[in-house]
Amino acid sequence: MGEGPLSDLLVLDLTRALAGPHAAMMLGDMGARVIKVESPAGDDSRGWGPPFLGDGEDRESTYFMSANRNKESLVLDLKTEADRDVLARLVEQADVLMENFRVGVLDRLGFSVERLHELNPRLIVLSITGFGHDGPEASRSGYDQIAQGEGGLMSITGTEQPTKVGVPIADLIAGMYGAYGVLAALHERSTTGRGRVVRTSLLAGMVGVHAYQGTRWTIAGEVPGLAGDHHPSIAPYGMFATGSAPIQIACGSDNLWRLLCGAFGWDPAEADFASNALRVANRAALTARMEATFAAEPAEHWLALLADAGVPSGKVRSMDDVYTWDQVRSQGLLLDVEHATKGSLQLPGSPIRFDDQPFSGGRSEHLAPPTLGQHDASIRDWLDTLDA
């Protein structure tokens, strides 16, 4: 592709669903050439919907489109010797291979780690599993909602009962950690000249984002419960009802508390609320006081007042509001692409920007998610030129 900080890399994406495809897409956004190797049936997520774009056999899943921009699609039936030979030729040329098969599947197809490194000693292999490649439960299948529960995230999410996050966060986090590990291994390869295997899992990703909730247990011996809409260790820091829509406020310091009190004519040294620890202990009373005040006016009134006072606050935006928000558009977070069969599409973009670029990712032109097998001929022709 010739553009972006990773434009000299070739990535083979043998993954399906979301965790692995997201990791590969992150590298593609930065300019890597990503060849998505699919079975004749295609990535499972091609069938996940509604919603779909189009009807019948030509329909395209919006779910698939969320994780597969900046890729080429090659169909290989790895149960056949001929297509296994094609994959072996690709491995010889690749810098990175990503897979999220169940433990042992790739070995049975004839592409164990040892074989991959025989074909290409410089190859970085990313393996994403559900619960880890070893240990007593390594054989379990990995599905996002199961991992959110098993990894503890659901136990601290929600108000009245455990609730999953509104996106497949276990998949997305595992993909991000996977891409992070791949870049570290590529950096190491620049010194050693050899590849290695990078491993992560949906379970590891969930434990990896516990942050202060994890140390509440490992250090303080506290078992965190449902966090709801308020921070467990800071107050006032959360969502509050107003005369119209809810708003969010983040008083992350005593100075911000004093600014908030100044805006409302309250005494910041009042006995029950004079310190953060007291405000956390008396959160229910503090929340009741704030919401009683906020009930008198709509959200917009309070957001303007808080902004003038210098208190961090914000709306709870719906998705349509987010994608039409001028600030989101100013950050290059929407991409215009040309799909092979569906024409012009707009996709959410990469969250990374470089200092000399107004757009997201490392490339100025992004590829639409491919149709199944869209690049079969061009990839095979390219391999043939290498053998000539």
List, by residue number, the catalytic residues: 231
Measured distance CA(178)–CA(201) in Å, rounded = 8
Query: Cα-Cα-Cα-Cα dihedral of 86, 90, 92, 95, to 10°?
Result: -160
Q: Tokens for 8? A: 């000299």
